[in-house]
Amino acid sequence: MENIVEFKDVHKSYGKKEVLNGINVSIPKGKIVGLLGPNGNGKSTMIKLINGLLNPTKGEITINGMKPSKETKKIVSYLPEKTYLNDWMKVKDIIEFFKDFYEDFDVNRANEMIKNLKIDVNEKLKTMSKGTKEKVQLILVMSRKASIYILDEPIGGVDPAARSYILKTILTNFSEDSTLLIATHLISEIENICDEVIFISNGDIILKGDVESIREERGKSIDTIFREEFRC
């Protein structure tokens, strides 16, 4: 199976603190992959490394065979944990901004989702609730025709009804030759859309595999396995 992202012996330290301890993992093309782990275990660090926002202390990361660079940014659609958008912008201005900035941005797809979620295009991000802001950002990211979508905690602030709509929308828009990597704590919500899961614990990958096979082998849901593995 072809892989879109590969981590080869990737270490990452912040000062003296090592937070990734030599990660070897690959993300296959065409799959929806859940990156799961408790707070502070290295999920965002892995995602920032893929996006070239951080450099590994040791080891190598490739996306479609290329190191993270300007070229790889063209094929990666990334939803960061914290917004980088200007608060004073209206939804319609942000859509224009994305249209100008990304060649692969599908305005019609964005407008349709905005309409279905009853978001006012004249509202500024500044005055929106946390959940609505999250919805807007997710819509923008999912409206690109990218090779890989990377979502860092995308639906934490969104109410359950909108969550189902959003997950459904992700699936509807998802083309079979693209890949989705989703880091989240909301495992029960996403386990039914994931093909594969990766568990990260203290900077090590402790479980990786096909969701169906893991469930069958252990006779438990991914959510239950997670709760057992990371019991406080």
Ligand X SMILES: Nc1ncnc2c1ncn2[C@@H]1O[C@H](COP(=O)(O)OP(=O)(O)OP(=O)(O)O)[C@@H](O)[C@H]1O
| Contacts to ligand X by CB under 6 A | 14, 19, 37, 39-45, 81
Rounded CA-CA distance 35/25 in Å is 11
Nearest residue (CB) to ligand X, 39 versus 108: 39
The answer to whether the beta carbons of residues 46 and 24 sit under 8 Å apart is no
In Å, what is the CA distance from 126 to each residue of 65, 85, 91, 98, 129? 39, 10, 10, 18, 8
Nearest residue (CB) to ligand X, 45 versus 132: 45
Nearest residue (CB) to ligand X, 41 versus 72: 41
Q: Which is nearest to 166 in space by CA: 151, 155, 175, 156?
A: 155
Least CB distance to ligand X at residue 14 (A): 3
Least CB distance to ligand X at residue 20 (A): 8
- Report the largest interatomic distance among the alpha carbons of the chain, rounded to a whole angstrom: 51
Q: Phi first, then psi: give them for residue 157, nearest 5 degrees.
A: -95, 0
- Tokens matching residue 57: 């202390």
Nearest residue (CB) to ligand X, 42 versus 211: 42
Nearest residue (CB) to ligand X, 37 versus 56: 37
Least CB distance to ligand X at residue 42 (A): 4
Least CB distance to ligand X at residue 41 (A): 4
Nearest residue (CB) to ligand X, 174 versus 230: 230
Least CB distance to ligand X at residue 1 (A): 26
Q: What letter does residue 51 receive in the DSSP assignment? A: T
Helical packing angle, 160-173 and 130-142, nearest 10°? 10
Least CB distance to ligand X at residue 125 (A): 21
The answer to whether the beta carbons of residues 196 and 208 sit under 8 Å apart is yes
